[in-house]
Chain A
Amino acid sequence: METIKLTIDNTPVETEKGTTIYQAAKKVGINIPALCYMNLEHLGIKNCPGACRICVVDVAGRRNLAPSCSTACMEGMVVKTNTPRVLNARKTVMELILSDHPKDCLICPANGQCELQALAATLGVREIHAVENAAVSTYRKDASPSLKRDMDKCIMCRRCETMCNDVQTVGALSAINRGFMAVVSPAFEQDLINSPCTFCGQCVAVCPTGALTEVDDTPKVIRALADPTKTVVVQTAPAVRAALGEEFGLKPGTRVTGKMAAALRRLGFDKVFDTDFAADLTIMEEGTELLTRLSKFLGGDKSVRLPIMTSCCPAWVNFFETYYPEMLDVPSTAKSPQQMFGAIAKTYFADKMKVNRKDLVVVSVMPCLAKKYECQRNEFKVDGNPDVDYAISTRELAHLIKMANIDFNSLPDEDFDQPLGESTGAAVIFGTTGGVIEAAVRTAYEIFTGKKLDKIDFTELRGLEGIRTASIDFNGTMINIGIAHQLGNARKLLDGIRSGMYNFHAIEIMACPGGCIGGAGQPYHHGHSEIISARHNAIYKEDEEKTIRKSHENPYIIKLYEEFLGKPMSEMSHHLLHTHYFDKHKV
């Protein structure tokens, strides 16, 4: 490897050829501020349009200041990142950005999370030398069931465009217009709901300002909790417990399962349940479906559609409904854990509690913004009453806890309530890429072979690479598995299947980087992808510490089938736990 030597702020640096000044500076503890630049190294995601010019530095012998994000280090370079000239330029750039930016920080949804706000504070901008009373350009606002666009706050960093087009290959958002009217928008300035948007929300996850945010459902939850006529139950997705602590200053990767349950109880939920229970249920249904298709296929029935695809991820469902409508019969018909939970809560549990479904409010806490859209889908309603009433994000839960004056970090660890709170390690790993398929394999293997697994961990299915493949030996029958996270990788996998490059029996797809742990409803990573890795490890740690680690051994799942559902893929299961998909192809 060829290396070069340079100095940055009088510190000698030796770095690999091709490294940018920004990266080299970071190595020696110099954090150059940046706004448009974003590098999620652990996930191979990068946005570097060199647009904002906040990261400029002084390079000796160079006439103008250099954008450090996109200037490569050269042998003998002498770089200064904090001279008066640099600081002045940065401040001027910031002033120019702010001169066409609303000044309503106090009531902005990004208040306290805004990278523009934080940078203005760091740079010490105290006035904006613009024409007095100059109008700030304004733009039409747009709210979908999941995401909100307020383009007055767009600074054209293009991070969302990179996520939507390059990473997710959804192509809903593009930069349009020029000058003051330049914003990011769907084609023909349509609303997101009419665009190919999958509501994955990765644009929100990277937006440095309040231009793209989630729809805030906390007021509805607060109202439901205060209504004495309602029984309000909550379910929490696996990935939430691996990230919620970050909102309270805990180290990324800190697991807060017990504190989260305690906080939800203090918020006033009548029952604190777990989506993990429904994840175990998903494995029973999806695993059985996989085995049914597989047995038919191995028995010579060529009409069987393989590979079976997971259907837990609502953005992925939106994606194949939009882009692969000819494959609507390929994914598993199993509903997502969120929706399975809602369906069981409003039937089995409501009956047990003798509550009318109209008076039972099901709230879900999700790492996801697409879940807000999913729970509003018509097929998940009975006479207009949704199985899941409100889906709030991890961030929204943190906000509720703070508003309710709960000192999260000093809470004791508490357990979930029963019967919908018991779960296995297999359910926990749903929260990260590769987890659903590993959970399915743990159960399918034992049912298919009739043997107990010697080793529960399928490490060959784990990791953060975008596309992974593995073959698992089912007692002589090799089962080929494909895994993809990020929709762009899903597309590559699907196109590979079409072209005959791959031959899978089952594939798992998650829309977000790293799976749900990197979901758009999680605490903001602000470009630090090591946070996603920490959550990834936390999920497997949680699994390891569970006494029961296979879905079919969950005693409450066994009981649910005995008392209510019969067996997996029964008529009752089909009615409550399975769904169908729609052609949403847009020309």
Chain B
Amino acid sequence: MSNIKLHDSQIRQIKDICASYGNKPGELINVLHTTQGVFGYLPEEVQREIAKNLNIPVAKVYGVVTFYSFFTMKPKGEHAISLCLGTACYVRGAEGVLDELKKQLGIEVGQVTPDGKFSLDCLRCVGACGLAPVVLIGDKVYGRLDPSKVKEILANYR
């Protein structure tokens, strides 16, 4: 059992999201997508609630959540940092940017800073190869990076 207890208002939110997709089992991915958009992540209790509303086994929900790397069961930071490690970004020095991000934040990939401000993840190609190497912070795109620019960018969010 997870140790997160959902508030009634959160349960209602999930109910509404599921209902907005007609409570159809076939809409599971859309429901998960929207729910993650609201909660930031998909903890166990949230998945159980979705399973209940769509009337499908929770094992199936968990199966989908663990299949797609987009879905996460860990909370993200207030500012979710996603570094592209696609081919173009990689050859133009994304690894150096990654090392600097880790150093500045003091966390590894997949972790959240103790103050909950930042989380760090890697992804493959955001479709902005011309700007390589690219980092996303929240919805904002930072391109043509090199390690020396990292500190300055992070300062905007501290």
Chain A contact residues, CB within 8 Å of chain B: 165, 170-178, 185-188, 195-196, 587
Name B41-66 residues within 8 Å CB distance of A: 44, 47-48, 51-52, 56-63, 66
Q: Of the candidates B2, B48, B66, which one forms a contact with A176 in the assembled complex, judged by CB atoms under 8 Å apart?
A: B66
Residues of B within 8 A of A587 (CB): 48, 52
Residues of A within 8 A of B48 (CB): 187, 587
B67: interface (CB < 8 Å): yes
- Not counting A176-B59, A177-B67, a sample of 20 additional A-B residue pairs whose C-beta atoms are within 8 angstroms of each other reads A171-B57, A171-B59, A171-B60, A172-B59, A173-B59, A174-B57, A176-B62, A176-B63, A177-B66, A178-B66, A185-B59, A187-B47, A187-B48, A187-B51, A187-B58, A187-B59, A188-B2, A188-B47, A188-B58, A195-B59
Nearest CB on A from B10, distance (A): 15
Q: How far is it, in angstroms, between the C-alpha of A175 and the C-alpha of B62 when the chains are bound?
A: 9
B67 touches A187 (CB 8 A): no
Q: How far is it, in angstroms, between the C-alpha of A177 and the C-alpha of B66 when the chains are bound?
A: 5
Q: A187-B62, A188-B44 are in contact. Are A176 and B57 (CB under 8 A)?
A: no
Residues of B within 8 A of A195 (CB): 59
Q: How far is it, in angstroms, between the C-alpha of A178 and the C-alpha of B51 when the chains are bound?
A: 21
Nearest CB on B from A492, distance (A): 15
B56 touches A171 (CB 8 A): yes
23 pairs from A and B in contact (CB 8 Å cutoff) = A165-B57, A165-B60, A171-B56, A171-B57, A171-B58, A172-B59, A174-B57, A174-B59, A176-B59, A176-B63, A176-B66, A176-B67, A178-B66, A178-B67, A185-B59, A186-B59, A187-B44, A187-B47, A187-B48, A187-B59, A195-B59, A196-B57, A587-B52
Nearest CB on B from A535, distance (A): 30
Q: How far is it, in angstroms, between the C-alpha of A195 and the C-alpha of B51 when the chains are bound?
A: 14
B63 touches A174 (CB 8 A): yes
Q: How far is it, in angstroms, between the C-alpha of A174 and the C-alpha of B52 when the chains are bound?
A: 16
Nearest CB on B from A431, distance (A): 30
B52 touches A187 (CB 8 A): no
Interface of B, secondary structure class, is helix
Q: Nearest chain-A residue to B61 (Cβ)?
A: A187
Q: Nearest chain-A residue to B63 (Cβ)?
A: A174
Residues of A within 8 A of B61 (CB): 187
Q: Nearest chain-A residue to B68 (Cβ)?
A: A178
Q: How far is it, in angstroms, between the C-alpha of A204 and the C-alpha of B60 when the chains are bound?
A: 19
Q: How far is it, in angstroms, between the C-alpha of A165 and the C-alpha of B51 when the chains are bound?
A: 14
Nearest CB on A from B123, distance (A): 15
Q: Which has the most chain B C-beta neighbours within 10 Å: A175, A176, A187? A: A187
Q: How far is it, in angstroms, between the C-alpha of A186 and the C-alpha of B2 when the chains are bound?
A: 15
Interface of A, secondary structure class, is loop
Nearest CB on B from A70, distance (A): 21
Interface size of B in residues (CB-CB distance below 8 Å):
16
Nearest CB on B from A494, distance (A): 15
Nearest CB on B from A171, distance (A): 3
Q: How far is it, in angstroms, between the C-alpha of A144 and the C-alpha of B93 when the chains are bound?
A: 50
Q: How far is it, in angstroms, between the C-alpha of A176 and the C-alpha of B60 when the chains are bound?
A: 8
Nearest CB on B from A58, distance (A): 32
Nearest CB on A from B144, distance (A): 32
Q: Mask for B1-45, Cβ within 8 A of A = 1, else 0?
A: 010000000000000000000000000000000000000000010
Residues of B within 8 A of A173 (CB): 59
Residues of A within 8 A of B66 (CB): 176-178
Nearest CB on B from A183, distance (A): 10
Q: Nearest chain-A residue to B43 (Cβ)?
A: A188
Residues of A within 8 A of B47 (CB): 187-188
Nearest CB on B from A186, distance (A): 6
Nearest CB on B from A337, distance (A): 31
Q: Nearest chain-A residue to B45 (Cβ)?
A: A587
Nearest CB on A from B103, distance (A): 29
Residues of B within 8 A of A177 (CB): 66-67
Q: How far is it, in angstroms, between the C-alpha of A186 and the C-alpha of B47 when the chains are bound?
A: 13
Nearest CB on A from B63, distance (A): 4
Q: Which has the most chain A C-beta neighbours within 10 Å: B2, B57, B62? A: B57
Q: Which has the most chain B C-beta neighbours within 10 Å: A172, A174, A176, A177? A: A174
Q: Nearest chain-B residue to A195 (Cβ)?
A: B59
Q: Nearest chain-A residue to B65 (Cβ)?
A: A176
Q: How far is it, in angstroms, between the C-alpha of A77 and the C-alpha of B2 when the chains are bound?
A: 55
Q: Ordered nearest first, which 8 A-B pairs have the shortest CB separation?
A: A171-B57, A174-B59, A174-B63, A187-B62, A187-B59, A187-B58, A176-B66, A176-B63
Q: How far is it, in angstroms, between the C-alpha of A540 and the C-alpha of B66 when the chains are bound?
A: 48
Q: Nearest chain-B residue to A186 (Cβ)?
A: B59
Q: Nearest chain-B residue to A175 (Cβ)?
A: B63
Residues of A within 8 A of B67 (CB): 175-178
Nearest CB on A from B52, distance (A): 7
Nearest CB on A from B57, distance (A): 3
Nearest CB on A from B48, distance (A): 6
Q: How far is it, in angstroms, between the C-alpha of A416 and the C-alpha of B44 when the chains are bound?
A: 53
Q: How far is it, in angstroms, between the C-alpha of A188 and the C-alpha of B3 when the chains are bound?
A: 13
Residues of B within 8 A of A185 (CB): 59
Residues of A within 8 A of B51 (CB): 187
Residues of A within 8 A of B60 (CB): 165, 171, 174
Nearest CB on B from A106, distance (A): 33
Nearest CB on B from A212, distance (A): 15
Q: Nearest chain-A residue to B59 (Cβ)?
A: A174
Q: How far is it, in angstroms, between the C-alpha of A185 and the C-alpha of B52 when the chains are bound?
A: 19
Q: How far is it, in angstroms, between the C-alpha of A345 and the C-alpha of B61 when the chains are bound?
A: 46
Q: How far is it, in angstroms, between the C-alpha of A175 and the C-alpha of B56 when the chains are bound?
A: 14
Q: How far is it, in angstroms, between the C-alpha of A517 and the C-alpha of B51 when the chains are bound?
A: 34
Nearest CB on A from B50, distance (A): 11
Q: How far is it, in angstroms, between the C-alpha of A173 and the C-alpha of B59 when the chains are bound?
A: 6
Q: How far is it, in angstroms, between the C-alpha of A587 and the C-alpha of B47 when the chains are bound?
A: 11
Q: Nearest chain-A residue to B57 (Cβ)?
A: A171
Residues of A within 8 A of B59 (CB): 171-174, 176, 185-187, 195
Nearest CB on A from B124, distance (A): 14
Q: Nearest chain-B residue to A189 (Cβ)?
A: B62
Residues of A within 8 A of B63 (CB): 174-176
Residues of B within 8 A of A174 (CB): 57, 59-60, 62-63
Nearest CB on A from B154, distance (A): 32
Q: How far is it, in angstroms, between the C-alpha of A177 and the C-alpha of B63 when the chains are bound?
A: 7
Q: How far is it, in angstroms, between the C-alpha of A460 and the C-alpha of B11 when the chains are bound?
A: 49
Q: Nearest chain-A residue to B2 (Cβ)?
A: A188
Q: Nearest chain-B residue to A170 (Cβ)?
A: B57
Residues of B within 8 A of A175 (CB): 63, 67
Q: How far is it, in angstroms, between the C-alpha of A320 and the C-alpha of B58 when the chains are bound?
A: 18
Q: How far is it, in angstroms, between the C-alpha of A170 and the C-alpha of B51 when the chains are bound?
A: 13
Q: Nearest chain-A residue to B67 (Cβ)?
A: A178
Q: How far is it, in angstroms, between the C-alpha of A172 and the C-alpha of B62 when the chains are bound?
A: 11
Q: How far is it, in angstroms, between the C-alpha of A123 and the C-alpha of B154 when the chains are bound?
A: 58
